[in-house]
A and B are shown apart, each in its own frame.
With several copies, the nearest count.
Chain A
Amino acid sequence: MAKDVRLLETALVPEAALAAFAAAHPQAGGIVSFTGKVRPDGDVEALELSHYERLTLPGMETLADDTLGRWPLDGLLIQHRIGVMRPGDAIVLVAAAARHRRDAFQAADFAMDHLKSDAWFWKREKRADGWHWIEPRAQDHADRHRWNQDTDLAP
């Protein structure tokens, strides 16, 4: 099973997930991973990610298929939290296992750029004065546009 894509409503534990992923792909020479966490700086007390059942996980599956189609990988892991998280909690984990290092780096980088700008998540932060919806970041769109444009999974 080359693709392992999940939406998690409870804690994402990157080290445990990576250990299981590595064990599932003993033939891979290299594994690149990215873990994204809620930053503990600033005055953010909590972060909530909402999703839409009919689009979010299917869109992540399509992104995984697209990534697997672009680089020769032994395996690809995408885990994404939804719900309420606290500073320090992991939000997202992407891992790519490949025979060749460069393929694993590029695949993980590509998947992250698209998850950040292209996946069906809506984010709000709780600060001292209440909840605030987060708008898309221009940098995330710029990151995605480094890749060519036949892979828009969401507007």
Chain B
Amino acid sequence: MSVTLVFLGKLADLAGAPERAVEAPLDWSSLVEALDGPLGDAVAGEKVRVAVNGTVLPEKTALFAEDGDEVALLPPVSGG
């Protein structure tokens, strides 16, 4: 019963790994709770967006993920 978090860009550095499994179900408050310190601050910052199974959420606080879902945490893109 888990959700896979995927950390992109500098969030992977802050997380210490590109992925992490967290307990399902997952909503915004339980995500913030699960990510403490600078990682949690960064993810909560207004520039980070959230995608569930490849769909970017218009409003990340509306996050809801269940067992088997993949939640990506997307910092601002830096271009090609």
The verdict on A147 contacting chain B, using a C-beta distance below 8 Å, is no
Interfacial chain B residues near A135, Cβ < 8 Å: 76, 78
Q: Are B10 and A54 in contact (CB under 8 A)?
A: no
Among the 9-residue stretches A18-26, A67-75, A102-110, A120-128, the one with 4 or more Cβ atoms under 8 Å from chain B is A120-128
Against A, the Cβ 8 Å flags (1 = close, 0 = not) of B35-75 are 00000000000000101011010000000000000101011
Q: Are A52 and B72 in contact (CB under 8 A)?
A: yes
CA distance A153 to B75 in the complex (A): 15
Q: Say which size band chain B's interface belongs to.
A: 20 to 34
The verdict on A142 contacting chain B, using a C-beta distance below 8 Å, is no
CA distance A91 to B77 in the complex (A): 16
Nearest A-chain residue to B52, judged by Cβ? A54
Q: Are B56 and A49 in contact (CB under 8 A)?
A: no
Instruction: Name A's B-contacting residues (CB within 8 A).
Output: 36, 49-50, 52, 54-55, 58, 80, 91-92, 115-124, 133-137, 140, 154-155
Instruction: Name B's A-contacting residues (CB within 8 A).
Output: 6, 8-10, 12-13, 49, 51, 53-54, 56, 70, 72, 74-80
Given contacts A121-B79, A133-B13, A135-B76, 8 further A-B contacts (CB under 8 A): A52-B8, A55-B74, A117-B77, A119-B80, A121-B78, A122-B78, A134-B78, A155-B56
